Structure 1
């Protein structure tokens, strides 16, 4: 009796798990999945925009002084001579550092260096820095 029940249960279970039609599978995709994918692409674009905006590059260090007035005068003078050049005045205690430009490679910066050395004959050199790929227009 036990053997008959075991055989009967095993046959029923084999039949229950058997597939009758193996030639096709139908998948019903929810159209909202495409909307979610588009939304995720937009979110990724916005959140990674700033990370792609700053890259390693070069700038020209124009002045490195502890006199704030001297640094501001140098910045004003550079703005007058090179209005399209982006200038960055930073304070790293106790010095004010005025850096100019967003150069992707060293050769670009070296080519521009003599123009600035006309105004500031000493202490001007190219330094590695994090630059802006698409900088905002300079604001006065």
Structure 2
């Protein structure tokens, strides 16, 4: 019995050392497509994150009257077509903010002009603004 057990153990040990050291991996070609797609998604999401930075906007109106806010937005677009207007609703108020200013000094120039057109409180607020990522690339060169 001991001899049979020894023989079986010897064969198992021999079989364990008899394996080759090479390993062959077969890769599905769709994995490369998935990697490229994930890289595109990562680029898009980081590009979007680079578009939004801290800056300033000018708050033109803060009212509970939706029609007044919409007419103010229309008036801003007529008077200052270069400025982008953002109409936000935070119950019960409609707020109209304009511009994407990186510095407060840029915003102050437009604030004076807007204050002449809109007699209510027109003031500068800190906000997350939209910037064009290609602008920052051009400035670095």
TM-score normalised according to structure 2 size:
0.65
Match of 2:13 in 1: 14
**Pairing partner for 2:93 from 76, 92, 95:** 95
- Provide the aligned C-alpha RMSD in A: 3.3
The 5-angstrom pairing of residues 1-140 of structure 1 reads 1=1, 3-19=2-18, 21-22=20-21, 25-42=23-40, 48=45, 52=49, 54=52, 56-104=54-102, 106=104, 108-120=106-118, 122-133=120-131
Higher mean C-alpha displacement, 6-15 vs 115-124: 115-124
The superposition leaves residues 86-122 of structure 1 with CA deviations (integer Å, 9 ceiling, x where unpaired) of 1122333433211111234545434543332343355
If each structure's helix is expressed as a fraction of its own residues, which one has the higher value? Answer: 2
Gaps of 5+ in 1: 135-140
For 2:14 and 2:104, locate their aligned partners in 1 and report how far apart those are by CA, in whole Å.
74
TM-score normalised according to structure 1 size:
0.66
Using a 3 Å threshold, how does the CA distance of structure 1 residues 95 and 40 change in structure 2: closer, same or farther? closer
For 1:129 and 1:91, locate their aligned partners in 2 and report how far apart those are by CA, in whole Å.
15
For 2:29 and 2:127, locate their aligned partners in 1 and report how far apart those are by CA, in whole Å.
47
Q: How many residues align?
A: 131
